[in-house]
């Protein structure tokens, strides 16, 4: 509709004022609440063509368009704003079109987009911070695909490096050959406990060395545990069989644990990369970079790149002992992906504490291949905290992802039992829906926030059945499904013709108008890489429907034409809620 209005505005300017239009910038918006109209044109930028006052320009264009556009019922002018009200027939035809179009028309994008998310370390289980990463990555992938792109979801598991060696050393020293089976623990949790234990013992050694007269920085470098850890890393890169054997065993425990958590969240990947493989390509690229003069070698044999002239600083690529850093393997991974898939865009979903890292990565990749560099994009998101404050992995103060999911399920179970709403369901169906509600609450609460913003996750607020929450939207969907089931039981057929003479209420038109925006909302969300746009759109739609349901009868409506319209409108709202929530990775129940 907006395109048609813009088309007629252009024709009006050319016909009425004999204007030559080269670069027309017209703003067509939904009419503000309280003003009679459906679409509003901002006229102020058009007076340069009319040479008239905004009000007079608006009236001229209103008359011209009303005469040529049958879908416009009336227009009005308020200062420099031209408001159009559409006909009842127009809105009913829009509903018919939505009802017939069961599958969304994919448009936009049509690019090959690779998106990396999750990227966990194998020294700890997934936690609340990982949950935000995974939910953002998964929902953005779904939205980009819905916008018509070829999307490749990848995960880079950080399975090597100094942090991994810390948990390995702690397990070797104090683990007493414990395994997930012997301790009845998930493998990622078992390994994570030894990472925390290492930090505890390491701090004790630092304190002892400081008491002997060392500075804290010296103590950190010379603590026996740190020296042993570096030795393990050197042996790992040299291919030491015993070290590699322990590493492979402990990593296998963690991989199993990760997979269980991914399954709970409904997360999957098209391909998984491992730093233990890609770091070698990174080292090769460092050698090539040295030959080409991209990198320089210091007297201690460490390798660096100087980016000070580009507003950054010197960045290390290889330590003096020849071991690699994160940048080395990220460099290797990037080139491996470009060679393998040749994506039009490569999006990294990584927290904003790594903004600098990805600025540097783009600069380094650009020194090798400017085209590759231009395709790299960092979806930077804010940290997620709890009401009690920031979490720290090495101190063991993080919220484990599995524990959080279990807590959400327990809370949903308690609320369900107190409300008694699902007492008539079978136990298996009740458990399935409770899990759906719990995960919906968790996912929606995190996804609805602009990714760039830091957020606080409050479990109790997230599972509330009122307000901007997942359960509220899920309940709205279940309510509509209940209405449609009752209509079937009453032998009311609602998938059929609707008379264009049906008189619509303003609230019904408002819901219809929102339904017609769904494709536009998806494309906006895809362009901005912000699933929160869809989340808040669905909430607004659900809220509008609930208000309509509260104020007006559906099944008790005596007028057959109005009943037919309202049932079809309800059906379309439910379908849009379901499709929208699916783009967020959230299921909606038909009963609650």
Q: What is the C-alpha to C-alpha distance for residues 215 and 275, in angstroms, rounded to an integer?
A: 34
Distant-in-sequence, close-in-space partners of 560: CB < 8 Å, separation ≥ 6 = none
Per the structure block, which two tokens stand in for 373? 């560099």
* DSSP β-bridge partners for residue 488: none
Per the structure block, which two tokens stand in for 286? 């460092």
Higher pLDDT among residues 423 and 171, named by residue = 171
- Compute the average pLDDT of residues 105-120: 82
Confidence of residue 102 (pLDDT cuts 50, 70, 90): low
Helix (H, G, I), strand (E, B) or coil at 64: helix
DSSP 379: E
Q: What is the C-alpha to C-alpha distance for residues 326 and 150, in angstroms, rounded to an integer?
A: 28
Where b means 16+ CB within 10 Å and e means fewer, 94-105 reads bbeebbeeeeee
Question: Alpha carbon of 319 to those of 294, 316, 415: distances in Å?
Answer: 17, 7, 55
Helix (H, G, I), strand (E, B) or coil at 577: helix
Confidence of residue 394 (pLDDT cuts 50, 70, 90): very low
Question: Alpha carbon of 310 to those of 294, 305, 359, 375, 544: distances in Å?
Answer: 14, 11, 10, 19, 51
Per the structure block, which two tokens stand in for 145? 């695909």
Tokens 């925390």 -> residue = 196
Report angle CA 95, 100, 101 to the nearest 5 degrees.
Answer: 95
Question: Alpha carbon of 169 to those of 32, 471, 511: distances in Å?
Answer: 64, 45, 61
- pLDDT tens-digit map of 81-93: 999 999 999 999 8
Query: Which sign does the torsion angle of CA 335, 337, 343, 345 carry?
Result: negative
Least confident segment among 125-139, 158-172, 487-501: 487-501
Inter-helix orientation angle 187-211/241-265, to 10°? 120
Percent of the chain with pLDDT over 90: 79
Question: Alpha carbon of 355 to those of 149, 331, 450: distances in Å?
Answer: 26, 16, 17
Domains annotated on the chain, with CATH: 2-86 (3.30.1360.70), 117-385 (3.40.50.620), 406-583 (1.10.730.10)
Neighbour-count burial of 137, counting CB atoms closer than 10 A to its CB (0-12 exposed, 13-18 middle, 19+ buried): buried
- Residue 401's closest CA among 140, 134, 152? 134
Neighbour-count burial of 521, counting CB atoms closer than 10 A to its CB (0-12 exposed, 13-18 middle, 19+ buried): buried
Higher pLDDT among residues 275 and 388, named by residue = 275
Contact 457, 447 (CB under 8 A): no
Contact 64, 10 (CB under 8 A): no
Per the structure block, which two tokens stand in for 64? 């011209």
- pLDDT tens-digit map of 520-575: 999 999 999 999 999 999 999 999 999 999 999 999 999 888 999 999 999 999 99
CA 543 from chain centre, in angstroms, equals 22
Tokens 């509709």 -> residue = 1
Tokens 């509220």 -> residue = 472
End-to-end CA distance of the chain: give it in Å, rounded.
37
Where b means 16+ CB within 10 Å and e means fewer, 411-437 reads bbbebbeeeebbeebeeeebeebbbbb
- What's residue 25's pLDDT? 80
Helix (H, G, I), strand (E, B) or coil at 299: coil
Higher pLDDT among residues 148 and 464, named by residue = 148
- pLDDT tens-digit map of 258-304: 999 999 999 999 999 999 989 899 999 999 999 999 999 999 999 99
pLDDT reading at 417 higher than 90: no
* DSSP β-bridge partners for residue 154: 116, 271
Q: Which helix (H) or strand (E) holds 244?
A: helix 241-265
């Amino acid at each position: 509709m907006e395109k048609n209005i813009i088309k007629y505005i252009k024709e009006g300017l050319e016909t009425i004022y004999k204007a030559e239009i080269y670069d027309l910038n017209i703003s067509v918006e939904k009419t503000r609440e309280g003003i009679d109209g459906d679409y509003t044109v901002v006229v102020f930028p058009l007076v340069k063509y009319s040479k008239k006052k905004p009000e007079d320009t608006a009236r001229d264009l209103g008359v011209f368009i009303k005469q040529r556009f049958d879908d416009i019922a009336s227009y009005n002018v308020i200062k420099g704003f031209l408001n159009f009200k559409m006909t009842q027939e127009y809105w009913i035809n829009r509903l018919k079109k939505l009802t017939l179009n069961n599958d969304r028309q994919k448009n936009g994008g049509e690019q090959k987009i690779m998106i990396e998310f999750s990227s966990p370390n194998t020294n700890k289980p997934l936690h609340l911070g990982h949950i935000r990463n995974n939910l953002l990555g998964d929902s953005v992938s779904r939205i980009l695909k819905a916008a018509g792109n070829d999307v490749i979801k990848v995960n880079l598991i950080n399975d090597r490096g100094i942090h991994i060696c810390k948990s390995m050393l702690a397990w070797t020293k104090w683990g007493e050959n414990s395994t997930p089976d012997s301790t009845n623990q998930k493998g990622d949790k078992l390994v994570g406990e030894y990472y925390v234990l290492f930090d505890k013992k390491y701090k004790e050694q630092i304190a002892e060395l400081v008491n002997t007269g060392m500075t804290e920085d010296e103590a950190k470098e010379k603590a026996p545990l740190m020296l042993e850890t570096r030795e393990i890393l050197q042996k790992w890169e040299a291919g030491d069989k015993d070290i590699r054997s322990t590493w492979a065993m402990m990593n296998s425990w963690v991989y199993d644990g990760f997979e269980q958590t991914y399954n709970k969240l409904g997360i999957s990947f098209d391909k998984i990369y491992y730093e233990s493989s890609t770091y070698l390509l990174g080292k090769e690229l460092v050698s090539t970079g040295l030959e080409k003069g991209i990198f320089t070698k210091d007297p201690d044999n460490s390798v660096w790149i100087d980016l000070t002239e580009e507003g950054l600083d010197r960045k290390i690529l290889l330590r003096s002992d020849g071991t690699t850093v994160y940048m080395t393997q990220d460099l290797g991974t990037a080139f491996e992906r470009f060679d393998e898939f040749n994506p039009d865009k490569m999006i990294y979903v990584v927290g904003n504490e790594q903004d600098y890292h990805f600025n540097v990565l783009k600069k380094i990749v650009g020194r090798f291949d400017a085209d590759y560099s231009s395709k790299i994009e960092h979806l930077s998101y804010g940290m997620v905290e709890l009401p009690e404050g920031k979490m720290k992995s090495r101190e063991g103060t993080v919220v484990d992802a599995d524990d959080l999911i279990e807590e959400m399920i327990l809370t949903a179970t308690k609320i369900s039992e107190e409300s008694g709403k699902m007492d008539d369901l079978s136990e298996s169906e009740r458990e399935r829906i409770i899990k759906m509600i719990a995960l919906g609450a968790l996912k929606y609460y995190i996804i609805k926030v602009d990714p760039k913003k830091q957020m606080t996750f409050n479990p109790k607020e997230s599972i509330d059945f009122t307000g901007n929450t997942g359960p509220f939207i899920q309940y709205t969907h279940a309510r509509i499904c209940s209405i449609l089931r009752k209509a079937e039981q009453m032998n009311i057929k609602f998938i059929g013709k609707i008379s264009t003479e049906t008189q619509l209420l303003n609230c019904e038109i408002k819901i219809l108008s929102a339904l017609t925006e769904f494709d536009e909302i998806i494309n906006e969300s895809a362009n901005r890489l912000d699933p929160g746009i869809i989340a808040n759109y669905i909430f607004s739609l659900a809220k509008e429907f609930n208000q309509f349901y509260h104020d007006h009868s559906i099944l008790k409506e005596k007028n057959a034409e109005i009943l037919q319209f309202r049932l079809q409108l309800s059906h379309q709202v439910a379908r849009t809620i379901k499709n929208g929530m699916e783009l967020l990775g959230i299921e909606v129940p038909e009963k609650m």
